[in-house]
Structure 1
Amino acid sequence: MNEKMNEINRFFDMYQKEIIHNWIMRLEQNYPNQYDTATLQEQGERYIILISDIQIPIEEHPIFAEYKEWCDLLFNKGIPIDHILKSSLFFREAFLEKIAVIEVEVSQLAAIISTIITRIDAFQATIYTYFFDHTRGKMELQDKLIEDIHADKLNLIGKMASSMAHEIRNPLTSIKGFLVLIRKSLPLDSLGSIEKYLDIIDNEFRNIEMQVTGFLSFSRKPIADEQRILMPLHEVIEKTLLLVNPLLLNENIELSLRLQDDLQVEVQNLAIIQVFSNLLNNAIDALRETDIHHRKITVLTFADGAHIYIRFINTGPEIPADIQSTLFDPFVTGKSDGTGLGLAICKQIVERNNGTITFETNRKETTFTLRFPALAD
């Protein structure tokens, strides 16, 4: 042990200046004008003391005890972890360059190299752990702040939605009442000629009512707590199409249904119809920007055993890249007259029904995919 320690001390006494010089030179070549040479010189000298005092375990060395303060300084300055790791690599290279020229027995040389490299690795691992833990802590703090901001935003939306829904529901109730009175008051012979218009008004009324229910998804009103029921998936789609068929015809949009038989889902009926309706209306809006001869919406359902899938595919333009990552966030929209709440409401309803919603988009088509758990046999 003493002989090895003496050999290490003689080596560093002879080559310390050159090792530090070569280490600093590598750092400056890779990170020009980013570090102070005098500071690096001082750090290099103390580092050599740390790794060459092999009689003291590295974790017990007085210089090792300063590493937290040193790491704090680097971390707060925003020094990237790869700079730290490269610095260790450069020192290792500078050390090995010089030890290759000393004249000692091979076994003794191997022992020196092994001892010094082990101490370099131990210190590097400590620094890496420090940076990893602090970076993770910083990211967790940032995530918490983002979650708090998002929660505050949803809380505000909830209050707005509750107030807005209340104001809309009052006149809607009156409209519904008068619509019933009109149907009852008109003679049967005259009702037939305008009944189709009354049916359209009735469908649009129900559409608005579902939109109000969607707004309430952001509040804590009991109406948003509709019970989930088991129902055939094709029935949910058919009920939705009753609401959007007039628009499909008016906009000359081809509708293709590729529905797998016997699929059942346990969902909130009105809420999921609201989601389907919203996705179809969004598709119709997108297709208004395309050539009238290339307007197509496909509704596809299938199952893979564990899940049931519903896909709404339209041949409209690609969703703008700058909003794709936040498309389901409140107030994000690609429409000039959009509120940015539709897809946010859809996402919340789908997740409340134990499902997920995702999308894919390109220049040829856009697909929204809903996935719900398949029912156990």
Structure 2
Amino acid sequence: MDISSQIDSNKAALIEFLDLHKSKFLNEWLKSIIVNGIDVYNERIFVNGGLMYSLIEKAIVGSLSELELQQLAYKIAKERLEADINIGDFVYNVNLGRSILVKHVLQSELPLKNLQVIIEDINNHFDQFCFHAVSQYTNLKNQELEDQKLFISENHKDKLAILGQISSSFVHEFRNPLTAVIGFNKLLRNEYPDLKYIDIIEHELQQLNFRITQFLHTSKAEINLKQNEEFSIKSLFHELQPLIYPSIVDIDVNLTSKIDDDLIISSNKDEIKQVLLNLLINSIDALKEKDKPRNMIIESFCSQKGIFINISNNGPAIAAEFLKTIFEPFFTTKELGTGIGLFVCKKIIEKQGGYITCQSLEELTTFSIHLPNNLVCIKTGS
């Protein structure tokens, strides 16, 4: 008998042996594998094991195509995903089946030198099966996560749109009488400049108007028709001083300002003003939670990368897990916060093509605004 005929004869004898011991193999494997009690496909595990056993028999005689192996791998990967079972358990079970099968092959009493090539072929097919199954499982899992993210994002956008419509309608109704009150307060200030508490009334009205503007910014339907204008960053902070001065004095804040005198930007002044005011108020609120000294640092400069505005305070550090979500709408760590202030800031800055970040350490928390050089950075001295 030539070598080829001998190999075929050995393979035929091995298949006969495997057919005879199939039930023994499957029962031994089933007793040893990891099975989750909540697996909705528990009844298919034994069936899938039998299918894999049959494919390995086909591989031994050389009649197995890679497509057949791949199809079974894809089928089981889908079942593992739907069962929400750890893929590591699946890989363990497959390799356990490989070990038991190789042990049974070695018990066939065929010449070891003839079995070596067959065992290598079995291992190769198990490796291919694991590769296809884990790859498909990973692809399906990633797609599932992307679908979930998309659903959450779309659901979130729908809620924001509804909130925007409600808040926009409410705020417009509320702003009409507020505008009248602000107007009459200015008339009182002009006629009675020394009237007691007039400054406090104006400050509180401006704060209320600022909060209303924040709610307006949550509406996607909001249209801002105001044109960009050139203004000095330093002068803008000067305009904000009367709004924050009472709070700074009240809690004794040491304010340090480092702003280029000749720094001019072209942007929507009211929106940038709103962003800066919100960050200043947040810094003051944080400093209220700290013992003296209470320090706040404002700095702004222009470089080749654009314009940077930093507002820092030495208040309590923001927890690391919160840094990822503080710019999300309705997230707040304040007891009476709305959770829209930083979201609005982010929205305004991104509309200008920039970005806003936060870095918080024990000694200093810094909110940084970056605006692109090609859009807004102009120096009067250049």
User: Matched residue pairs, number?
Assistant: 366
C-alpha distance after superposition, 1:80-102 (max 9, x if no partner):
22223333333444455666787
RMSD: 3.7
Whether the aligned pair in 2 keeps the contact of 1:228 and 1:266 (CA below 8 Å) is yes
2:145 pairs with one of 135, 139, 142:
139
Q: Are 1:75 and 2:81 counterparts?
A: yes
Tell me the CA shift for residue 230 of structure 1.
4.5
Cα–Cα, structure 1 residues 342 and 4, in superposed 2: closer, same or farther, change >3 Å? farther
Structure 2 distance, partners of 1:199, 1:39, is 77
Tell me the CA shift for residue 318 of structure 1.
3.3
Tell me the CA shift for residue 178 of structure 1.
1.7
Tell me the CA shift for residue 228 of structure 1.
3.6
Cα–Cα, structure 1 residues 257 and 104, in superposed 2: closer, same or farther, change >3 Å? farther
Tell me the CA shift for residue 162 of structure 1.
1.1
Structure 2 distance, partners of 1:104, 1:183, is 108
Q: Are 1:249 and 2:249 counterparts?
A: yes
Tell me the CA shift for residue 110 of structure 1.
5.5
Match of 2:345 in 1: 346
Structure 2 distance, partners of 1:91, 1:221, is 60
Q: Percent identity?
A: 27
Equivalent runs, 1:167-182 vs 2, <5 Å: 167-182=173-188
Match of 1:366 in 2: 365
Whether the aligned pair in 2 keeps the contact of 1:51 and 1:58 (CA below 8 Å) is no
Equivalent runs, 1:20-99 vs 2, <5 Å: 24=30, 27-28=33-34, 40=45, 42-54=47-59, 55-61=62-68, 65=71, 68-95=74-101
Structure 1 distance, partners of 2:355, 2:175, is 29
User: TM-score when scaled to structure 1?
Assistant: 0.79
Structure 2 distance, partners of 1:12, 1:258, is 84
Cα–Cα, structure 1 residues 339 and 32, in superposed 2: closer, same or farther, change >3 Å? closer
Gap runs ≥5 in structure 2:
378-382
Equivalent runs, 1:71-220 vs 2, <5 Å: 71-95=77-101, 104=111, 111-186=117-192, 191=193, 193-194=194-195, 198=198, 201-202=201-202, 204-220=204-220
Cα–Cα, structure 1 residues 117 and 176, in superposed 2: closer, same or farther, change >3 Å? same
Tell me the CA shift for residue 358 of structure 1.
2.6
Whether the aligned pair in 1 keeps the contact of 2:74 and 2:132 (CA below 8 Å) is no
Whether the aligned pair in 2 keeps the contact of 1:318 and 1:364 (CA below 8 Å) is yes
SS in 2 for 1:329: coil
User: TM-score when scaled to structure 2?
Assistant: 0.78
Which piece of structure 1 moves more, 258-267 or 31-40? 31-40
Structure 1 distance, partners of 2:232, 2:103, is 75
Whether the aligned pair in 2 keeps the contact of 1:326 and 1:332 (CA below 8 Å) is yes
Gap runs ≥5 in structure 1:
none
Match of 2:237 in 1: 237
Cα–Cα, structure 1 residues 242 and 6, in superposed 2: closer, same or farther, change >3 Å? farther
Q: Which residue identity does 2:315 align to in structure 1?
A: G
Which piece of structure 1 moves more, 5-14 or 250-259? 5-14
Tell me the CA shift for residue 281 of structure 1.
0.8
C-alpha distance after superposition, 1:321-363 (max 9, x if no partner):
7755432333322222222222222222222222222323355
Q: Which residue identity does 1:118 align to in structure 2?
A: N
Tell me the CA shift for residue 270 of structure 1.
0.8
Structure 2 distance, partners of 1:78, 1:205, is 55
Whether the aligned pair in 2 keeps the contact of 1:256 and 1:299 (CA below 8 Å) is yes
Q: Are 1:327 and 2:333 counterparts?
A: no
Whether the aligned pair in 1 keeps the contact of 2:313 and 2:366 (CA below 8 Å) is yes
Structure 1 distance, partners of 2:301, 2:26, is 66
Q: Which residue identity does 1:328 align to in structure 2?
A: F
Structure 2 distance, partners of 1:26, 1:361, is 51
Q: Which residue identity does 1:296 align to in structure 2?
A: N
Tell me the CA shift for residue 142 of structure 1.
1.1
Cα–Cα, structure 1 residues 370 and 91, in superposed 2: closer, same or farther, change >3 Å? farther
Structure 2 distance, partners of 1:206, 1:180, is 12
Structure 1 distance, partners of 2:255, 2:340, is 26
Q: Which residue identity does 1:56 align to in structure 2?
A: S
Tell me the CA shift for residue 50 of structure 1.
0.5
Structure 2 distance, partners of 1:80, 1:125, is 16
Structure 2 distance, partners of 1:27, 1:8, is 28
Whether the aligned pair in 2 keeps the contact of 1:52 and 1:116 (CA below 8 Å) is no
